[in-house]
Structure formats: structure tokens, C-alpha cells
Amino acid sequence: MEIKEIHEIIAKENVKFIEMEFTDIFGVLKSIEIPIECLKDAVEKGLWFDGSSIKGFTRIKESDMYLKPDLSTFAIIPDDKEVKTARFFCDVYTSNGELFAGTPRTVLKKVIEEAKKEGYVFKVGPEVEFYFFKKTADGKIAIPDSDDGSYFDSPTGDIGSEIRKEVMLKLKAYGIHSERAHHEVGHGQHEIGFRYDDALVTAERVITLKKIIKMVAHKYGLIASFMPKPLFKKPGSGMHIHFSLFDLDGKPLFYNEEDKYKLSPLAKSFIAGQLSCIKEMSAILNPTVNSYKRLVSGYEAPVYICWGGKNRSALIRIPHYTKGRESSVRAEIRCPDPSASPYLAFAALLKVGLEGIKKKKSLMPSYEENIFEQSKEELEKIGIETLPESLSDALKIFKKSDLMKELLGDKLFGNYLYAKEKECEEFRIAVTDWEVNTYL
């Protein structure tokens, strides 16, 4: 979108403020509000801010940084307020005018350019799961009484259904077309997905979706949570990611008519790269201590490193192909969760996939049996491994990964590792309710 067109929309809609949006290294949304009169300067010269105040960005002596809006991300924020506000996603620059390498947006843009040089466009479509909670009179968190549905239940006075519809309408006002929304397995649990698109566009749609869900939930007096495992012995929340490659002219590169799964040799090498590096990027796809409460062997969790077609117990699944829809041939990775930064998650999946193509990696044989019914001994016999069992274990593998260091760059890699190791240590020494109830 050109700046002239943006100014015309701003004048027509009587927009008074602009939110300059960006994220910290973990994908948490940040913003600075400016009056509309300051937009011209922000576009031409950037908006200065203190980078040392943003988690994982930079040290105090290097704190001067500035934001420059990406004009293609302009949107008017749909809310009920009389004073209208628009937003841009922004790139972060250092004081010497260089694009700051330590932001997730920069990392994703860099690996997208790597793919483009090879003639590839990476497209993704995530399915974001989440819970609604209410705060009780005694300050505790509980599932809303009016949200007791289960998987695909038709709404009957279900407050979650009303919120999902409102979220989808607000997404549409942003220019984001969601394809489906439904109740998930758990009481209070839901899913919203939208049409696949280029990785950078989709990453920012995920960030926008999470913002809108929280905003609408708050309106109803509820709390929206993207915590991977908020409730003991209840379903966890994932962010399954569908993905495929296209060439620069839009031709699908995953399709092969002769293959059983309709996968091209390039697609198989791409998927092989992901499976072979999945442990290295677990700390990015599943970045919290709580993530590994969801990824537990013996439950219906995607922890087994293998792939298949209809097999939903496999880590990577190949959805059914419909004749005449070659562009829909794709793979679905099922372990990521919504606590992950979508910028870093998509960047990691693309990076290791490109590595698989570059090294012409061979894809392991597919596995179509229900892995949940297999014993540990049987899995070991057929060579199926599992994901790391904790964030601490994942970080030990991440720390040794040259590929992850190359992806993130020395600065972001070091900051990310330091913060996550600190998180593990804080969890290790914390005294939990379970310990008190068991040992006191």
C-alpha cells in the first residue's frame, strides 16, 4: 500500500492515532502510540525508542533504536471506541541505520530471502488453540459456566461461540479472512484458523489474532489463555502448522501425481530436514516450561518423531489430497504450541526444510499405525524417537545447534538461550502446590 492511499483512508475514516507494533524476542506484542500528525515523521525518519527496555533486545549503552512502519501492514483497529486508531507492524533499526538483527521479524525476513534466492516461497496455515477462563470471587481461575461444550459441539447458549464469531468479524475488518472456528475438546477450549499465506503475512496474522481474542474475551469479562497446558489432566493447546513450498510464479512444488502421498522429492527432502532437526528447534516451537506438560508420551500428544498420512499420532501428517487441488498438497506439523513466536517458529521450520533440500536428505518411511498403542520397546525397535521431555532437555540440544545459531544470529541466539535457561532455573527452585500437598 502506498503512503498516499494510506493518508486517504486515514482522512476518510477520521483516524486519530497510530499504533507502531513490534514484538520482543518471545513474540509478545509491544506498541507505541503516536498522534496522526506524527505519522509523516515516523514513515520518513522512524520513531525512536529505548531498546534496552524490551526483553532480549540490547544493552543500556546501545539502547537508542527506532521503528519504521511496514506500509503493507496498515490496518484500522476494529473496536467500539469513538476515537479511531490504525496500526502498522514495524521493523527495528539500530542508531546507525541498520536493520536490527536481534528481532524475530528480521530473522524471518532473512530466511524468507534465502528461500527466495533458491526460487521458493514458503506458505503456512496455523490452527491456533486457546482457552477461556473467568476469575472467581475468591481470585481463582475457572472455566466459564456457560462454556461447557466439547469437540465440534454445536453452540447452545455457549458464550465461546459468540466470542468466536465476534473475533472472526474483527479479523475480517483487519482484512484477515478466517476459514473456520469451532469448539475444541476441552471445556472452555477453542480453535480459530485462517487461510494459508506467505510466512511473514501469516506470522503477523497470528499475532493479530491473539490480540483480538484477548480483547474480545476481556469485553465479556473473561481471560483468553494461550498457555500450552493450563489444566492438569485436560487437553493441551497446540498450534498445528500446515506448510508447503511454491515457486516464484505461484506453482505448487509439493505436488507429485505419481507418489502415494502426492509428495514431490523436494517436499520429502524438506520434511526430512524438519524431522532430522526437530529436537534442535524444539526450544523455539515449544518454548516454555509448560509446553512440555502438553508433550507427554502415553497421552494423545504429538511427541513421536515420524510422519504419515491419516495418522494423527505422527509428528508430521500429510492431509488427504483432493483431485484438482494440487496447491493444497501440504504437510502439517503438530508439535508447535501457541506460546511460540510465530516469526521464529516459521523461520525455524523454513530454515531446517531448506537444509533438507540442500543436503538432499532422505525421508524416513511413513508410519500409519496408531503410535499411542505401541509400547516404548516397540517404538525403539522400529527406530521412532520422541521429542525432548522438558525445556531444559530441549535447550541442551538447542545450545549445540550450529543451524539454530546461524538462523538466529549470535546476539539473538545468546539472549534467547540465556532467558530460557533462567526460566528453567526459576522453575527448578520454585515450590509448587503439588509439592506442598504431597510433602507438607
Mean pLDDT in residue range 374-382: 80
Whether 82 sits among the annotated catalytic residues: the reply is no
Whether 332 sits among the annotated catalytic residues: the reply is yes
Q: What is the pLDDT of residues 197-217, one digit of tens each?
A: 999 999 999 999 999 999 999
Q: What is the pLDDT of residues 13-72, one digit of tens each?
A: 999 999 999 999 999 999 999 999 999 999 999 998 887 666 656 554 457 889 999 999
> Out of 105, 164, 187, 240, which one is annotated catalytic?
240
Cβ–Cβ contacts within 10 Å for residue 257, how many?
Answer: 9
Residues listed for the chain: 440
Report pLDDT for 109: 98
> Out of 191, 204, 337, 355, which one is annotated catalytic?
191
Q: What is the pLDDT of residues 403-420, one digit of tens each?
A: 999 999 998 999 999 999
Report pLDDT for 119: 98
Whether 195 sits among the annotated catalytic residues: the reply is no
3-state secondary structure of 80: coil
Report pLDDT for 263: 96
Whether 337 sits among the annotated catalytic residues: the reply is no
Domain locations in the chain? 3-100, 109-439
Helix axes 342-358, 265-277, angle to 10 degrees: 120
Whether 317 sits among the annotated catalytic residues: the reply is no
Binned at pLDDT 50, 70 and 90, residue 161 comes out as: confident
Whether 184 sits among the annotated catalytic residues: the reply is yes
Amino acid at 268: K
> Out of 312, 326, 393, 423, which one is annotated catalytic?
312
Q: How does strand 316-317 pair with strand 307-308?
A: parallel
Q: What is the CATH number of domain 3-100?
A: 3.10.20.70
User: Which alpha helices (DSSP H) does 14-66 contain, by range?
Assistant: 39-45
Give the contacts of 292 (CB within 8 A, at least 6 positions apart).
Answer: 286, 388, 389, 390, 391, 394
Q: What is the pLDDT of residues 241-273, one digit of tens each?
A: 999 999 999 999 999 999 999 999 999 999 999
Whether 37 sits among the annotated catalytic residues: the reply is no
The angle subtended at Cα 286 by Cα 225 and Cα 431, nearest 5°, is 70
State the first-to-last Cα distance of the chain, in angstroms, to the nearest integer.
62
Q: Is-same-fold flag (3-100; 109-439)?
A: no
The residue whose grid cell reads 502498522 is 88
Whether 423 sits among the annotated catalytic residues: the reply is no
Whether 166 sits among the annotated catalytic residues: the reply is no
> Out of 21, 127, 158, 355, which one is annotated catalytic?
127
Q: How far apart are CA 194 and CA 207, in angstroms?
A: 13
Amino acid at 70: D
> Out of 184, 204, 280, 355, which one is annotated catalytic?
184
Domain 109-439 CATH class label: alpha beta
Report pLDDT for 163: 86
> Out of 8, 33, 50, 62, which one is annotated catalytic?
50
Q: How far apart are CA 22 and CA 104, in angstroms?
A: 9
